[in-house]
Structure 1
Amino acid sequence: MKKTGVILAGLAVSIGCFAMDLSGTPESSAPPSGRGERFESDCLRLYPVPAEFPLAMPEAALTVRVDGHALGLYVDRNFWQGLVHFASFDFDPAQPVTVEIELPETVKTFRLLPEKYGLRPERQGRTVSFTVAEPDSMITLVTDENYRTAPVLHLFANAIDPDAPSGSTPNVCYFGPGYHDLQAETGSDELVVSGSETVYLASGAVVDGKIALAHADGAAVRGHGMLMRNRYEGMLLTTGFSRNITYDGFLLYNSRPQCWTAGTHEADGVEVSNVKVIAPHYASTDGFDLVNSRNLHFVNTFVRASDDAVVIKGLADGLPADCPPNENMLFEQMQLWNDCNNAFNMGAEARAAAYRNITLKDSDILFSYDDPHHHGKLDERSTMSISVVHGTFFENIRFENIRVNRCERLICLTFLESFWFGSLPGEQETPGGMRDITFRQISSPNRSESPIANQILLHGWPGTGDTPVKRIENLRFEDVTIRGKPLTTDSEHFRIDTPELVDFEVVGAE
Structure 2
Amino acid sequence: MVTYPAPAEAVGNSDFTVRVRSLQGEWQELFCYNVKVDMHDVRNASMVYFDCSGPILVEVVKNEGSVEVVLIRPLSSGLECVYSGNRVTFMLDGPRKLSLEVNGDRFHNLHIFANPLEENVPDPTDPNVIYFGPGMHVLEEPQLRIPSGKTIYIAGGAVVVGALVCDHVHDVTIRGRGLLYMSDFEKTTYYRGVEITFSKNITVEGIITVDPPHYTILIGQSEHISIRNMKTFSTRGWCDGIDMMSCSYIEIDDVFLRTSDDSIAIYGQRGDFHGDSRNVTVRNSIFWADVAHPMNIGTHGDSENGGNVIENIVFENIDILEHHEPQPDYWGCMAINPGDNNIVRNIRYENIRIEQFELGELFNIRVVHNPKYNPQPGKRVENIYFKDIVFNGNCENPSRIEGFDETRVVDGVTFENVYVNGRPLKLDSEDIQIGSFVHNVNFIYDKD
- Structure 2 length as normaliser, TM-score? 0.90
Q: Specify which of 439, 444, 448 is matched with residue 391 of structure 2.
A: 444
Q: Distance in 1 between matches of 2:125 and 2:61?
A: 39
Q: 2:403 maps to what in 1?
A: 460
Q: Does 1:240 align with 2:197?
A: yes
Q: Does 1:433 align with 2:380?
A: yes
Q: Which amino acid in the other structure matches residue 355 of structure 1?
A: I
Deviation at 1:334, TM superposition (A): 1.0
Deviation at 1:316, TM superposition (A): 3.9
Contact 1:486 1:509 in 2 (8 A): no
Q: 1:97 maps to what in 2?
A: 56
Q: Which amino acid in the other structure matches residue 390 of structure 2?
A: S
Contact 1:461 1:501 in 2 (8 A): no
Q: Specify which of 305, 329, 336 is matched with residue 386 of structure 1.
A: 336
- Equivalences for 1:69-468 in 2 at 5 Å? 69-75=28-34, 76-78=36-38, 79-91=40-52, 93-94=53-54, 96-103=55-62, 104-105=64-65, 107-135=67-95, 137-147=96-106, 150-165=107-122, 167-183=124-140, 188-229=141-182, 230-231=184-185, 232-256=189-213, 259-279=214-234, 281-316=235-270, 323-351=274-302, 353-370=308-325, 375=326, 377-407=327-357, 408-418=360-370, 422-428=371-377, 432-448=379-395, 451-452=396-397, 455-462=398-405
Q: Which amino acid in the other structure matches residue 49 of structure 2?
A: S
Percent pairwise identity: 25
Structure 2: which 5+ residue stretches go unaligned? 22-26
Q: Which amino acid in the other structure matches residue 485 of structure 1?
A: R
**Which one has the bigger strand percentage?**
2
Structure 1: which 5+ residue stretches go unaligned? 1-42, 464-468
Q: Which amino acid in the other structure matches residue 51 of structure 2?
A: D
Q: Distance in 1 between matches of 2:329 and 2:439?
A: 17
Contact 2:338 2:381 in 1 (8 A): no
1:380–1:503 CA distance, 2 compared to 1 (3 A): farther
Contact 1:112 1:141 in 2 (8 A): yes
Contact 1:109 1:145 in 2 (8 A): yes
Contact 1:245 1:271 in 2 (8 A): yes
Q: Which amino acid in the other structure matches residue 495 of structure 1?
A: Q
Q: Which amino acid in the other structure matches residue 424 of structure 1?
A: Y
- Structure 1 length as normaliser, TM-score? 0.79
Q: Which amino acid in the other structure matches residue 373 of structure 2?
A: L
Deviation at 1:255, TM superposition (A): 5.0
Contact 1:391 1:432 in 2 (8 A): yes
Describe the superposition over 1:69-124 as per-residue Cα deviations: whole angstroms up to 9, x where unpaired: 32111222433344321221123x14x32211123425421211123433232112
Q: Distance in 1 between matches of 2:346 and 2:212?
A: 36
Contact 2:3 2:49 in 1 (8 A): no
Q: Which amino acid in the other structure matches residue 77 of structure 2?
A: Y
Q: 1:7 maps to what in 2?
A: none
Aligned residues: 429
Q: 2:24 maps to what in 1?
A: none
Contact 2:298 2:310 in 1 (8 A): no
Aligned with 1:203: secondary structure?
A: coil
Contact 2:298 2:344 in 1 (8 A): no
Q: Distance in 2 between matches of 1:216 and 1:338?
A: 31
Q: 1:45 maps to what in 2?
A: 3
Aligned with 2:3: secondary structure?
A: strand
Point out the more displaced range, 122-131 or 288-297.
122-131
Q: Distance in 2 between matches of 1:447 and 1:302?
A: 24
Q: Distance in 1 between matches of 2:3 and 2:290?
A: 32
Describe the superposition over 1:205-259 as per-residue Cα deviations: whole angstroms up to 9, x where unpaired: 1000111111222110011111121312411101111111111111111254xx2
1:326–1:478 CA distance, 2 compared to 1 (3 A): same
Contact 1:459 1:502 in 2 (8 A): no
1:168–1:211 CA distance, 2 compared to 1 (3 A): farther
Q: Distance in 2 between matches of 1:336 and 1:329?
A: 17
Describe the superposition over 1:329-385 as per-residue Cα deviations: whole angstroms up to 9, x where unpaired: 111101000011100111322336211110001111111111xxxx2x422321011
Q: Which amino acid in the other structure matches residue 315 of structure 2?
A: L
Q: Distance in 1 between matches of 2:271 and 2:133?
A: 41
Q: Specify which of 439, 445, 448 is matched with residue 508 of structure 1.
A: 445
Aligned with 1:246: secondary structure?
A: strand
Q: Distance in 1 between matches of 2:66 and 2:439?
A: 49
Q: Which amino acid in the other structure matches residue 118 of structure 2?
A: D
Contact 1:416 1:426 in 2 (8 A): no
Deviation at 1:394, TM superposition (A): 1.1
Q: Distance in 1 between matches of 2:212 and 2:195?
A: 17
Q: Distance in 1 between matches of 2:300 and 2:117?
A: 40
Contact 1:380 1:414 in 2 (8 A): no
Pairwise CA RMSD of aligned residues?
Answer: 2.1
Q: Which amino acid in the other structure matches residue 348 of structure 1?
A: T
Contact 2:367 2:409 in 1 (8 A): no
Q: Distance in 2 between matches of 1:47 and 1:248?
A: 20
Describe the superposition over 1:385-419 as per-residue Cα deviations: whole angstroms up to 9, x where unpaired: 1113211111110000100012331011112221x
Deviation at 1:189, TM superposition (A): 2.2
Describe the superposition over 1:187-206 as per-residue Cα deviations: whole angstroms up to 9, x where unpaired: x2221123111100100110
Describe the superposition over 1:437-488 as per-residue Cα deviations: whole angstroms up to 9, x where unpaired: 011110001115xx32xx211121116xxxxx21111110110000121111
Q: Which amino acid in the other structure matches residue 443 of structure 2?
A: V
Q: Distance in 1 between matches of 2:191 and 2:37?
A: 21
Deviation at 1:509, TM superposition (A): 6.2
Deviation at 1:314, TM superposition (A): 2.1
Q: Which amino acid in the other structure matches residue 63 of structure 1?
A: T
